[in-house]
Chain A
Amino acid sequence: MTRERLLTFALLAALLALPFAAQALGYPFYTTLATRMAILALAATGLNIALGLGGLVSFGHAAFFGIGGYAAGIVATHAMNAQPLLGLDIPASMPLVWLLAALSAGLVAAITGAISLRTSGVYFIMITLAFAQMIFYFAISWKAYGGEDGLSIALRNGFPGMNTAVPRDLFMIAFALLLAGLLIFWRVRVSRFGAALHAARQNELRVAAIGIEPFPIRLVAFVVSAMITAVAGAMFAELNRFASPSMLAWPMSGELIVLIILGGTGRLAGPVAGAMLYVMLEYWLGSITERWQFFLGLTLLGVVLFARGGIVGLVAGKARHG
């Protein structure tokens, strides 16, 4: 077993143990922190497919995160008021929310990606940002669903066999989704598709020369990436019982990128390590000083300047390309 795989299992085991340890030690609040870690890790795992594997630096993944959040909020609101959605009576069910979130984010990603992928480099960063801003402004002026106030979720959507109002049940759902997301990431990376995606990132011309067109591959990666991030967004809104416009705002996109770089770009465990450290720093610094963002910024600077390759790179060494 390689050190990277060992690290992945260790991190996941630690995350899974956290709520149980919290319960035993009498800090039930930590369950919520662990859920937050799992959800952010899932969102960053989605982005890691586009950014880590494909080298597509999307500065607009907050859009997909927010679309997922609003899917959860909209379904919960309609179910609560017994209003039909698009003419259908819908149950307040999480799997349905995930489906809606993934489909709508996938559709948006297919359209915006088709335009954005015509550009590259900094232009790609900026055009994805522009699309995300469009969706942000659309959401804050959409009065039917809260506008600038966002959309509260009075009652979380349900999941068969679980009570989503219980923190530990919600954590288990988020953790299972994270595992599924990591599995998708891993399958993509080891597949022929992943190899082509990785190759297109390293040398676009050569990939084209051997008969693989980079554009459709990148577009598929972008869409899959958006769908996973959207499911995470839905869970984030469920956790906070609130679909906030700030989920769509550009600092969220920056935060997702931060999680990935902090953990290790393109590494399986990168987003997990990044999300765990980030949430811990946020909580720990927040408890000792109200100026925690100042020290968070300094920490991030330290990581980017002196610990290249993030946490996973620090522990498991450079990525091996087999």
Chain B
Amino acid sequence: MPTALIIEQLLNGLQLGVMLFLMAAGLTLIFGVMGLINLAHGSLYMVGAFACAAVAAWTGSFWLGLVASLAAAAAAGAIVEVTVIRRLYDRDHLDQVLATFALILVFSEGTRWLFGSFPLYLDIPPALTGAVALPGGVFYPVYRLAIILVGLAVAVGLWLLISRTRLGMRIRAGESDREMIGALGVDIRTLYTVVFALGAALAGLAGALVGALQSVQVGMGEPVLILAFVVIVIGGIGSIKGAFLGALLVGVVDTMGRIFLPQLLAALLGPAPAASLGGALSSMLIYIVMAGILAFRPRGLFAAGA
């Protein structure tokens, strides 16, 4: 098997992985700090993508679009937190699932109302077009490399934020004992809004970055949301480290599985049965990995507080 193909697919897997990390980090923070399951996180991803595409089309600048995506997603997150999510923190998970499911309907249909049913297209910024030669004779798109770098930079930044700043200290304190930090005089309502908006901004960034690779359309967030849930469950809900490693694992396993599993099966079983089985198995692969991990580690790999 050519090394170039393997390297290329490994990078594709990494790129998917860091994208998933941007989504999963917000989800896992929101769950860890507020104990909330947010199904509407995929909608914030979509909001980011639409904001970026609309502003980029209007101003002609991808970079302004990127700023807009962060701002729009964070604002949407803050508004939703203040109006709806805030009332759900002391409810059980069932109510949270229903309310955020309802939010998905509102966001999706609202976006369709504003932008119509046709997908929008977002161009890769001119500075990042083209491909670079990597060692091993691989030509890889610059934009995808940039996404990997942005994702890694966000991971480092998030780690610094959580472990080195006052806000991070409060977030960690909120994870371990929310009543105590309230008693110590921290304004917990504002803290929750900030955490939610931060998670939303990360989702919006992910949506904007991916928007230039795929089309920007209603419903784009939900498949990613499901993958992000797989990621945080594998990593252990509430753990940023778990989300990072889980995201890379899911990204790489999914990408590599889709390319190499059918080939492997073809070598073992012959081409005809492999063609039908390979497709099914490779789409199921990450769910099989997740079920396997949960069967042996019921709280994920890096469960917070475990």
Contact = CB atoms under 8 A, between A and B. Distances in A.
Contacts of A126: 229-230, 233, 290
Interface in A96-127: 115-116, 118-123, 125-127
B94 A257 contact: yes
Contact of A142 (B103, B276, B294): B276
B64 interface: no
Given A254-B101, A297-B104, A130 B290 contact: yes
Contacts of B98: 257-258, 261, 300, 304
B284 A123 contact: no
Contact of B37 (A125, A131, A137): A125
B95 interface: yes
B298 A123 contact: yes
Nearest to B113: A291
A135 to B, nearest CB: 9
Contacts of B109: 291-294, 297
Contact of A141 (B39, B229, B276, B295): B276
Contacts of A312: none
A305 B87 contact: yes
A301 B84 contact: yes
A130 B287 contact: yes
A57 B101 CA distance: 14
Nearest to A143: B276
B12 interface: no
Interface in B255-273: none
A134 interface: yes
B146 interface: no
Contact of B299 (A123, A297, A300, A308): A123
Nearest to A120: B298
Is chain A's interface secondary structure helix, strand, loop, or mixed overall? Answer: helix
Interface in A297-322: 297-301, 304-305, 308
A59 B230 CA distance: 13
Nearest to A51: B94
Given A122-B93, A134-B287, A298 B106 contact: yes
Is chain B's interface secondary structure helix, strand, loop, or mixed overall? Answer: helix
Give the interface centre of A131, A250, A297, A298 by most chain B CB atoms within 10 Å.
A297
B158 interface: no
A125 B97 contact: yes
Contacts of A254: 39, 97, 101
Interface residues of A, number: 44
A27 interface: no
B287 A133 contact: yes
A108 B284 CA distance: 16
Contacts of A129: 226, 229
A9 interface: no
B13 interface: no
B276 A123 contact: no
B291 interface: yes
Interface string B274-291: 001001100110011011
B193 interface: no
A57 B97 CA distance: 10
A35 interface: no
Contact of A137 (B84, B102, B280): B280
A60 to B, nearest CB: 10
B232 to A, nearest CB: 8
A294 B94 contact: no
B31 interface: yes
A220 interface: no
Contacts of B291: 115, 127, 130-131, 134
A225 interface: no
Contacts of B229: 126, 129
B77 interface: no
Contacts of B141: none
B300 interface: yes
A29 interface: no
Nearest to B110: A294
Contacts of B108: 293
Contacts of B57: none
- The 9 A-B pairs with the shortest beta carbon distances in the complex, nearest first, are A297-B105, A300-B102, A294-B109, A297-B106, A141-B280, A137-B283, A293-B109, A119-B298, A126-B233
16 contacts: A51-B94, A57-B94, A118-B298, A126-B229, A130-B287, A130-B290, A131-B287, A133-B226, A138-B280, A141-B276, A142-B276, A142-B280, A258-B101, A296-B105, A300-B102, A305-B87
